[in-house]
Amino acid sequence: MMFTVRVIDITKNHMQDMPVHISGWVRSIRTMGSVSFISLGDQSCLQPLQVVVDNELLSETTGAIKTGSSVSVEGTVMASPAKGQLYELRADTVQLLGASDDNYPLQKKRHSFEFLRTIPHLRVRSNTFSTIMRIRHAALMAIHRFCDEEQFIYVQTPIITQADAEGAGELFQVVHKKNEDFFGAPSYLTVSGQLAAEAMACSLGRVYTLGPTFRAENSNTSRHLSEFWMLELEAAFVNLFDNHTIAERLIKYVICTLLDNHQEDMEFFSRYIKKNHIDELQNIANTPFERIEYSDAITLLSKAKRSFEFKPTWGIDLQSEHERYLTEELFKKPVVVTNYPKGIKAFYMRMNDDEKTVAAVDILLPAFGEIVGGSQREERLDVLIKRMKECGIDQQEYGWYLDLRRYGSVEHSGFGLGIERFIQCITGMANIRDVIPFPRSVGQAFA
Ligand code: 4AD
Ligand code: MG
């Protein structure tokens, strides 16, 4: 009986002495005396499998098995005398599946992330990128589990829309190559599923949507993508405070799940990507987030014993230097900032009694800045219409959205969490382009 396995199964199931069949890609191959050692990776776990092969077995494929080749091996699992690995595979047969050659770009040496960004189709065979992808998967699964446990229903909001949900004009237009009037009105790639999620929440009570969103921002930074994934939760009968409490619990739930169940991969980041990374994540998971109002944040910033490039005055949007001061120097933990000036926030946010601020919330993390943006939504029809007029938004186009306020309007709130920013926080990766398989940003939509 021969078991077809992946590398992870061998250690997980303690398969010592068992005959197995396994396939993967050659990370490296070296010959010592009468045997060769193939480091075989299938990206099912961090550690590749060491395959020990008598050179005789390689006679048919001599020289053809190179770094980057795909091979299939049959053999027996043995306890390994080598350091750092429990098991190795003694090969009985080795079959070359797909050859490679010396041009294979992932030769066994450390490559810069800049270089690896030029080969997104191959970089995921490396330790760093395969580990990121396994963790990204595990984080998304944990998100789905959290939402399910909290009775949020997974709904799918459209990618093609006619609304600018954020009212910021950062839209990519969708045009039919031959028929410009295909949808009957200008249509765009969505910047946020929120407005549609609101409609779903105002029937189903609690919903979430998770999909790609698109922003035509001209920001070429390590925290912005033109195409990124966003998780958006939306709940009826929930106010601003309960809203960010849910967000805080979600963030902690996902981090704890990863630290508890994916230790080997998580330790990789602490060892090779960012010092003290696990400690920082534990700090996020174990301390209550700080909560302050925007106006108080501005006061604290203007009292800071240091200077900022952008002077903190009431009405400005918090810049990343301000966010970093609050999270890293002042509070040393995640900070929830609420009640921003209406002038810097979207039209749908609920007007506060002071008529100057709206019920907005941002969650800021040390070293990463804003990870969550959300608000309590304006549920009062007259106030919303007034606000839309102020923002120059055409009511006709949002008739359906106003209907939600005409027929059984309710208090409701929601937030959006940028998946890539969250994965940056979880992995410690400095550049957002390195936590998504195929990054899209200004000047780049490669592969
Ligand atoms: O703060 P934002 O713009 O909020 C919204 O879109 C709301 N409609 C969400 C809601 O209330 N349902 O975006 C939410 C999050 C940000 O906090 C950030 O994490 C991420 O999305 N984000 C980006 N991530 C990568 N690249 C970009 N260009 C991003 N813009 C926003
Ligand atoms: Mg925001």
Q: Tens place of pLDDT for every residue, the chain, 447 residues?
A: 899 999 999 999 999 999 999 999 999 999 999 999 999 999 999 999 999 999 999 988 778 899 999 999 999 999 999 888 999 999 999 999 999 999 999 987 889 999 999 999 999 999 999 999 999 999 999 999 999 999 999 999 999 999 888 888 899 999 999 998 999 999 999 999 999 999 999 999 999 999 999 999 988 899 999 999 999 999 999 999 999 999 999 999 999 999 999 999 999 999 999 999 999 999 999 999 999 999 999 999 999 999 999 999 999 999 999 999 999 999 999 999 999 999 999 999 999 999 999 999 999 999 889 999 999 999 999 999 999 999 999 999 899 999 999 999 999 999 999 999 999 999 999 999 999 999 999 999 988
Ligand found nearest the CA of 417: 1
209 Cβ inside 6 Å of ligand 1: no
248 Cβ inside 6 Å of ligand 1: no
- Go through 207-222 and write b for each residue having 16 or more CB atoms within 10 A of its CB, e for each that does not: bbbbebbbbeeeeeee
User: Is the domain covering 3-106 a CATH 2.40.50.140 domain?
Assistant: yes
Q: What is the pTM of this model?
A: 0.97
Sign of CA dihedral 374, 375, 380, 385: negative
Looking at domain 123-434, which CATH architecture does it have? Answer: 2-Layer Sandwich (3.30)
DSSP characters over 318-378: PPHHHHHIIIIIISSS-EEEEEEEGGGS-TTBPBPTTSSEEEEEEEEETTTEEEEEEEEB-
Q: Of 236, 205, 244, 231, nearest to 339 (Cα)?
A: 244
24 Cβ inside 6 Å of ligand 1: no
Query: What are the extents of the domains in the chain?
Result: 3-106, 123-434
Ligand 1 centroid, distance to 41 Cα (angstroms): 36
166 Cβ inside 6 Å of ligand 1: yes
Q: Tokens 């990519």 correspond to what residue? A: 172
- To test the pocket of ligand 1, the residue of 164, 200, 228 to mutate (highest count of ligand atoms within 8 Å of its CB) is 228
192 Cβ inside 6 Å of ligand 1: yes
CB 69 within 8 Å of CB 25: yes
Q: Tokens 């065979």 correspond to what residue? A: 125
Q: Of 347, 377, 345, 387, nearest to 362 (Cα)?
A: 345
370 Cβ inside 6 Å of ligand 1: yes
Ligand 2 centroid, distance to 261 Cα (angstroms): 31
Give φ, ψ of 307 to 5 degrees. -105, 155
